[in-house]
Amino acid sequence: MAARSGERRLQILQAIAEMLQEPRGEKITTALLARRLDVSEAALYRHFASKAQMFEGLIEFIENGLFTTINKIGAEEPSGSRQAELIVALLLGFAQKNRGLTRVLIGEALVNEDARLQARINQLLERIEAALKQALRIAASDSELSSGEDVAAAANLLLSYAIGRWQLYVKSGFVRDPLAQWPQQWPLLLAGCLSQPA
C-alpha cells in the first residue's frame, strides 16, 4: 500500500510538472490537477496535505537532482574553474530538460502560493551559489585566478547568469534555449570572473 501511495504521489508531481510546461499555462489549481488525473480533489489531499506541499515535493525533486550532480562534480573534478563551468552548464541543462520545473526555479509558478515556497527556492539558490564559491576558492588556491579576485562576486555573477538564462527561456515560451551560445559565453564569463594574473 505504501508503494502504491508513493506511486500516486509521483504521478501527482509529474502531472504538475507537465502542466507547468505549457508556455502560457493557466494557474494550477487542485480542481484542474484532479481533472487532469481523473480523480477527485479529495483523492489529491489523501497524498498531500495542501497544494503547497505538492510544490514542496517538486522543489525536493529539483534539489535532489541538482545537488546529487553538484556533489559528484566536486568529488570527481579537481579543477575549480572546471567545477564552476560544469555547475553552470548543469543549471542550464537542467532547465532545458525540465521546462516546468524551471518555472518553479524562477518563482513564476509560485506567485500567489505559500510564501515559504519562494523562501525554499531562495535557500536552494543560496546553496548553489555556495557551491560555486567553493569551486572558485579551489580555483584561487590552485592559481587558476588572480589572488585579487572577489570569489563571492564571481560566484554571484555566475548564478545570476544562469537565472537570467532561465528567465529568458521561460519568458520566451521555452523558445530561447538556455544552452544556446553556451560554448561562446563561457569563455567570456571565465575571462570576467577568473581572470589570470597579468
Query: Which domains are assigned to the chain?
Result: 50-193 (1.10.357.10)
Residue-level pLDDT at 197: 44
Q: Is the pLDDT of residue 39 over 60?
A: yes
Mean pLDDT lowest for which of 161-165, 174-178, 192-196? 192-196
Q: What is the mean pLDDT of residues 162-170?
A: 97
Distance from the first to the final alpha carbon of the chain: 65
pLDDT of residue 2 exceeding 50: no
From residue 72, how far is each of 65, 96, 136 by CA, in Å?
Answer: 11, 20, 16
Residue 35: per-residue pLDDT? 92
Compute the distance between CA of residue 133 and CA of residue 56 in angstroms, rounded to an integer.
26
Task: Dig out the grid coordinates for 180 from the structure.
Answer: 544556446
Nine cell digits for residue 42: 479529495
The three three-digit cell numbers of residue 6, written as one number = 508513493
pLDDT at residue 1 greater than cutoff 80:
no
